[in-house]
Amino acid sequence: MDNRQALGSWLSGPRAAAEDMGVDFGYPGQQLGLPREGPGSVARFGRRLAAVALDWIGCQLIAYGLITGGDLAAAGNWTLGLFVALTVLTVGTVGFTPGKRILGLRVIAEDGGRLGFGRVALRTLLLALVVPAVIWDRDGRGLHDRLARAVQVRI
């Protein structure tokens, strides 16, 4: 191995170095029995982030315009409260938030069924903390999804 290969493996990270040595990690969702692409496959990070952003912006507009009467300083806490309520109610009943529905996503249990309200509440509270949502596994699931035994899939 020359120095360029060593430097490249260091910059690429441990996964790329392991793949160069022949380790097969499979595709996201393979361990869960999900398809590689299309409906039922694991939702990618960009689409999940866009769905959360749509939900957050919607909650922020409601908090700013309807609840606080235009008080920007007070809208922040209301936005978080509305976001938590929206997520628990919509994911707990239909399996998706408005933002997830617009982008073609659904939250399901690892076994393919629906999540109960307890698991939805746990997942939502961890999502509101943000940190668990930005730590994810090789299937692309955030820590909040892993702890709630949930997965976001494409519809």
Got the DSSP string for 3-52?
HHHHHHHHHH-HHHHHHHTT-----TTTTTT--SSSTTSBPPHHHHHHHH
Counting residues of the chain whose pLDDT is more than 90, the rounded percentage is 68
Q: Which long-range contacts (CB under 8 A, 24 or more apart) does 33-36 make?
A: 34/151, 34/153
Q: Give the span between the Cα atoms of 39 and 104, in whole angstroms.
A: 9
Amino acid found at 36: R
What tokens appear for 5 in the block? 């290969």
CB 42 within 8 A of CB 29: yes
0.75 cut: is pTM over it? Answer: yes
Question: At residue 75, does pLDDT exceed 70?
Answer: yes
Grade residue 155 by pLDDT with cuts at 50, 70 and 90.
very high
**What does the radius of gyration of the chain's CA atoms come to, in whole angstroms?**
19
pLDDT (tens digit, 9 = 90+) per residue, 51-66? 999 999 999 999 999 9
